[in-house]
Chains A and B, each alone.
Chain A
Amino acid sequence: MYNLIRVELFKLRKDKAFRMLMLLISALAIIFPLFSYFDNKTHGFPLVPGIAFLFDSIGINSFFIKFGTAILAGFFIANEYSTGVMKTIVSSGNSRGRLFMAKLIGFAAGAMAISVAFPVISTIEATLLAGFGQPAVDATSVFGQLPPGVPVAFILRAFGLTLLFSASFAVISALFSTLLTESGKTIGLTIIFFMMIDTILSMLGSYFPVFETIYDYSVFKLIGQIGEPVLEVGTVQILLVPLLTIAVAGLLGAIVFRRKEIK
C-alpha cells in the first residue's frame, strides 16, 4: 500500500494539470493582496492585514475547492483511462481495492494542496505588506470587513475544515471520474454537478422537505460554514458530514472500480 501511495504522489508531482492549477491559484493569491494594497493606499484607506485576508479568502475558497478538484479529477484520474496507463496499474499485481484507495489518497492530497494554496499565499503576502494582526475596522477592501478579535482556534478550525471538505469533494470527483473515465466528460459534468447541486436540492427542498434536510446535512451546504467566525451547526455535524461523504463516495467508487472493465 505504501508503494501505491508513493506512486500516486510521484505522479501528482509530475502532473501538468496539478502544476498549472497550483500556479494559477498561486498567481491569483499573489495578485489579490497587491490590488487591495495599492487600491487602499491610493484612496487613503487603512491597509488590510494578513488575518483579514485569511478570514475572507477561506470564505471564498470553496470556489477553488470545487473547480480545482473537478479539473484535477479529469486530468489526474480520468486521463489514466484514456492514455491506457490504467491497464498497467490494474495488471500490476495489486488488488483493485488497494489501488483505488491509494489513488483516492494521492488525489485527495492534491485537492488539499489546491484548497490551501490561496489562503496561505494571500495571507503571507498581505502580512508582508500590512502586518498580520492590526484590526482594520473600517477597511473596505474587496474582501470585506475584519471581525473584531479572531482567535487562533478559528484559524486552526478553518484550515482543518478546508482540508476535510476538499478531501470530501475530491472523493466525489473521483467517483465521477471512475464512472465517466474521460477527462473532458469528468471535468464538465463534475463542474456542472457542483454548480447545480445547491440549486437543485434547494428547489426540490421547497416541494419535498426531505431534500431540504438532505441539503442541510450535505457537504455542499456545509462548505459555506468553513469561513464563519461562529459555526451555525454543531461540531459533530460539520465533522461527521464530510467524513461520511468520504466514506460513502469512496465505497461507491471502490465498488465501481472493482467491477469496471478497463478498456
Chain B
Amino acid sequence: MNDHVLQSNQLTKKFKGAFALDKVNLSIRKGSIYGFIGQNGAGKSTLIRIAAGLAFPTDGHIELFGAGGELELVQARKRIGSIIENPALFPNMTAAENLEANRILRGIPGKECIGRTLALVGLQDTGRKKAKNFSLGMKQRLGLGIALLSDPEFLILDEPTNGLDPMGVVEMRELLVRLNRERGITILISSHILSEVYLLATHYGIIHHGRLLEQLTAQELKGKCQQYIHIKSDNPDKASAVIQNGLKTSDFEVMPDGSIKLYGKIERPGEISALLVSSGLMLEQFMPMGEDLESYFTKRIGGISHV
C-alpha cells in the first residue's frame, strides 16, 4: 500500500524558457503536515497548481495516492481539498450558498455538511451577507470551509493565513493541527511566513529557484539547527578579540547590530561569560539559543545575498 499522498518524479515546468520547477522529486507522507517553504516565485505555487490539475508539467510526473495516469489523477483529486493562492468564492453568494454550490459540484449527499462546515470555520452567523462583503479573514475561512466540505484526505493550503488577524492565525493553526490529529488529514501548507510553518509542520520541503533543495522531518531540522550563544556587549571588537584569543575559536559571527553569534566551544557557557566579564566587558545580553527554521532556510539557500 502506498503511504504517500503526493509524489513528484523529476517534475519540471518551464515558463518561456525559464525553469519554474527543475526536476523536483517531492514526497509527502500520509498523515504528515508538510511545510513547503520558499520565497515568492520559488516554485511552490507552480507545484501546487500541477498537483491540483490547474497546470501541466513540461516534464516528469506526479502521483496522488499512488495514482499517476491522467484519469486516475482526476479521480484522486476528489480526495483533495485546496486553497490555491486566494480563496475562490462566488462573490454574490452567501457563505452557505457558496458551500451549497461546492456541495453540488462535489456530489456530496445531504445538506447537513453545510451547517457543520460553517460552524467549523466560525461563519455560522454570517446569514445573508454576501461573500464580496466579507473581510479578508472571513474569505480565507470560507475558502478553508470549501476545501474541507468533502472531508478530504489531503488538504493543500497555499498561504492560508493571508489576511488573518493574529487571533485568526492562532485559530487557523489550532484547527489545522486538530484536523491532522483527529481526522488524520494530510496537509500541505505552503507559506513564506516561516514562523507559522515552524509551529505546525512535521515535515519540510525547501524549494529555491525551482529546485527542491531538501526534504526533512521536524526532528531532523531540530538536529540541524545550529545552537549558539547570543552575546551583546558594550565593545563588540574587544569581545571578538577575547573570543578569538581566549576561547581559541573563530567559529562566530559578528552581526550588523554588533551582537555576536558564537557557535564554537559553547558547551560551558558559564566559563565563557566569566571570561568576557573578567576581560572588562559589560554584557548586555548573553543567551544560549538555537537556530530556527528561518535562519536554517536562509543558510540553506545560500544566505541573504541569494534571496
Listed in ascending order, the chain A residues whose CB lies under 8 Å from chain B are 3-4, 6-7, 10-11, 14-16, 83-95, 259, 261-262
Give Cα distance in the complex from A3 to B97, angstroms.
16
How far does the Cβ of B260 sit from chain A's closest Cβ, in whole Å? 47
> Which residues does chain A contribute within 8 Å of B90, judged by CB atoms?
11, 14, 83, 85
> Which residues does chain A contribute within 8 Å of B75, judged by CB atoms?
93
Task: Knowing A7-B104, A95-B71 are in contact, say whether A85-B89 is a contact too (CB < 8 A).
Answer: yes
* B105 A89 Cβ-Cβ under 8 A: yes
Asked if B54 is at the interface of the complex by the 8 Å CB criterion, the answer is yes
Q: Which bracket fits the contact residues of B?
A: 20 to 34
Chain A residue with the shortest CB-CB distance to B73: A93
Chain A residue with the shortest CB-CB distance to B76: A93
* B88 A88 Cβ-Cβ under 8 A: yes
Asked if B77 is at the interface of the complex by the 8 Å CB criterion, the answer is yes
How far does the Cβ of A81 sit from chain B's closest Cβ, in whole Å? 10
Asked if B32 is at the interface of the complex by the 8 Å CB criterion, the answer is no
Task: Knowing A3-B105, A6-B104 are in contact, say whether A91-B89 is a contact too (CB < 8 A).
Answer: no
Stretch in B79-87, B214-222, B266-274 with 4+ CB within 8 Å of A: B79-87
* A262 B88 Cβ-Cβ under 8 A: no
Known: A86-B88, A93-B78, A95-B71. 7 other contacts (CB 8 A): A4-B105, A88-B102, A88-B105, A91-B82, A92-B77, A92-B102, A93-B75
Asked if B74 is at the interface of the complex by the 8 Å CB criterion, the answer is yes
> Which residues does chain B contribute within 8 Å of A86, judged by CB atoms?
88
Task: Knowing A7-B101, A7-B105 are in contact, say whether A91-B54 is a contact too (CB < 8 A).
Answer: yes
How far does the Cβ of B296 sit from chain A's closest Cβ, in whole Å? 32
> Which residues does chain A contribute within 8 Å of B104, judged by CB atoms?
3, 6-7, 10
> Which residues does chain B contribute within 8 Å of A88, judged by CB atoms?
82, 88, 102, 105, 146
Give Cα distance in the complex from A234 to B189, angstroms.
61
Give Cα distance in the complex from A245 to B107, angstroms.
31
How far does the Cβ of B140 sit from chain A's closest Cβ, in whole Å? 13
> Which residues does chain A contribute within 8 Å of B102, judged by CB atoms?
88, 92
What mask results when residues 251 to 275 of chain B are scored 1 for a CB within 8 Å of chain A, else 0?
0000000000000000000000000
* A262 B55 Cβ-Cβ under 8 A: yes
Give Cα distance in the complex from A85 to B86, angstroms.
10
How far does the Cβ of B96 sit from chain A's closest Cβ, in whole Å? 12
> Which residues does chain B contribute within 8 Å of A89, judged by CB atoms?
105
* B78 A87 Cβ-Cβ under 8 A: no
How far does the Cβ of A156 sit from chain B's closest Cβ, in whole Å? 34
